[in-house]
Chain A
């Protein structure tokens, strides 16, 4: 009788500037699921947050400068990678949350990703405008990326929750730094492995794991972060986080109901351009 094969366990790391480093602090914390120990996740440091913001800032203009068509293709490829790894993602979600219907959550995450990928080259048409001003001027308003967005991902729904915030932010053309769910961070790291194989440029999406109380205030106060999604911030911490965000007048964003282009424009700025008409 052959011995049962011993599994190769995965080391879960951060996703930072296109690579998978451990924390510069060398720290980790234990992640458990309903069936006990799952992994030692990286416990990112405040320095890791700052490094991630630096990477995001450096990547933001290139990502924003791609054609909308190109960004849409890259994001669609992320969905392809998610589909290809769907068994793994289902396994991650079910081990993390101990739920039977993990498959439904993964389907929702992939379908949601495809939906937002298709918005990149339509958002300006649907949400921009040609403005009929009372004078001889050409005047239009078009959305453009804000720049660097910080996302404090929802604690529950370990994969679909992060996708619901990350997909519209990336669709909008921002570079992002995500703080994954503190208790269920592993599906978000598995998701970042899809980014790494989908031509998402390094630094455009950065995923950090660790203690919220330590990391979220740093992300919220960082002067090189332009917008902050607080969907995952608990009521008790909201005051502190939003107050920190005011230091550079950050746009503070929270999820609306379901998928919509308004979730994308929440991560965008409207720019209006005037030019005289004349012969």
Chain B
């Protein structure tokens, strides 16, 4: 195969102004943390320090929840059409500042600029645009019932899609008349803090959106605060269970979007070249830091060898490196901790006897990197077939019949997503009925849209985000 070299095409970063030190966003103001504590946020591609970020303590959480509570009554009572207009303003401001948001997202999180530019940021703006329109139409979303806001929502989001997850959380909460205190992930706070400026520009009333930064302890203090009416969490199943336990008996509403170990199932009659693109997108999109990633590839036995060889060839063309480069396919791993976890599980895969293939690529000297990795000869009992790796690591298994594919696909405590590749329409529908997953992608993978509900079965959580169904976790029906 000819080797095509690409000239560097880095996106300029001068559009972004990163401050040395940030404050918390509470009651419409940027405030210094009462805790007095700060931590450093870095660029995972270079390990360069970007800024000092407040580590919110109990008193800060107290202040943020109080600000949200103070704003709740007025926000719930304003004309729904005005709530809609505020959300439209936010959506527009995000579109206006898309370049800035995309560059900052990539600098702080390590994802390729082509993903933050073409996927994360446009989808985040679109999410606000979609829910803006619902704010004054709720009586048509819940026929026969009144939809009332729950009050103050505590929202804790992960580092894999920082701005998009913020949009998934804040847009429906505000549209339904709630106020929020949101905690972005420890490693990726910067776009959330830029979003605070956008709220300010949009003239959003003080206290409707509050943003507190910090690590797990800050998140725990937030969700356990007695002044919170609703908790929404996206993250690992382990932490999700802890939150569900800690909220037991509190009467707080809860929605959880947790881990996954999705099966991507390819039948012999599938368009194989398209399927290979789907497999690559399924597991290597965002370095595999995707809860719905197609991390278990189930190949029908008769085509397994052929697909694996096509896949290996495709892997060798993926470009890993500077996330700000517009040609980069695989960016940096989000943090050292995540890189260690990926390395550990890959080590386990080798020890358990699966066969390792890694794309030949040079890893940059600084920063956190992991090459696209495929394990073949994986059996269902292997840990790499059961546990969420949350990295660019694919486990390949095989099957013979539809029934076997369904059984293997469903043989996991998770149930977030699944993929099916086949040319036969009736088989797609048959499979879609039987796969225990909240999202089924047929002849495609990793597609997202504000109008499309997303969320899990089983231990992948409960509640839906997106679409009309995404309103429900934020209302009380009377």
Contacts and interface: CB of A to CB of B under 8 A. Distances in A.
Nearest to A251: B462
B245 A248 contact: no
Contacts of B440: 271-274
B126 to A, nearest CB: 7
Interface in A164-195: none
A266 B444 CA distance: 29
Nearest to B433: A144
Given A131-B452, A242-B249, A275-B443, A249 B241 contact: yes
A142 to B, nearest CB: 10
A204 B174 CA distance: 41
A275 B458 CA distance: 23
A141 B455 contact: no
Contact of A238 (B248, B256, B455): B248
A101 interface: no
Contacts of B441: 273-274
Contacts of B142: 262
A88 B18 CA distance: 76
B449 A139 contact: yes
A270 interface: yes
Contacts of B249: 238-240, 242-243
A51 interface: no
B442 A272 contact: no
B308 interface: no
Contacts of B369: none
B478 A257 contact: yes
Given A146-B457, A242-B247, A270-B438, 7 more contacts: A131-B449, A131-B452, A240-B249, A251-B462, A256-B477, A271-B438, A274-B442
What size tier do the contact residues of chain A reach? 35 or more
A249 B453 contact: no
A243 B245 CA distance: 5
A139 B450 CA distance: 12
A141 B467 contact: yes
A137 B444 contact: yes
B468 A129 contact: yes
A248 B447 CA distance: 27
Interface string A245-266: 1111101000011001110000
Contacts of B218: none
Contacts, number: 118
Interface string B428-454: 100011000111111110010101111
A39 to B, nearest CB: 34
A274 B248 contact: no
B437 A271 contact: yes
Main secondary structure of the interface of A (DSSP, over half): mixed
Interface of B: 126, 142-145, 237, 240-241, 244-245, 247-250, 256, 258, 413, 428, 432-433, 437-444, 447, 449, 451-455, 457-462, 464, 467-469, 477-478
A249 B242 CA distance: 10
A269 B464 CA distance: 9
A249 B459 contact: yes
Contact of B451 (A126, A131, A246, A269): A131
B149 to A, nearest CB: 16
Contact of A141 (B144, B433, B452, B460): B452
Nearest to A261: B144
A242 B243 CA distance: 11
A256 B478 CA distance: 8
B444 A276 contact: yes
Contacts of A276: 443-444
A249 B458 contact: yes
A6 B258 CA distance: 62
A272 B439 contact: yes
A152 to B, nearest CB: 14
Interface string A206-234: 00000000000000000000100000000
B447 A239 contact: no
Nearest to B464: A270
A134 interface: yes
A249 B467 contact: no
Contacts of A274: 439-442, 444, 447, 452
Contacts of A240: 248-249
A36 interface: no
Contacts of B248: 238-243, 245-246
A135 B438 CA distance: 20
| Residue from A144, A246, A256 having most chain B Cβ neighbours under 10 A | A246
A97 B431 CA distance: 49
A15 B478 CA distance: 34
A133 interface: yes
Contacts of A26: none
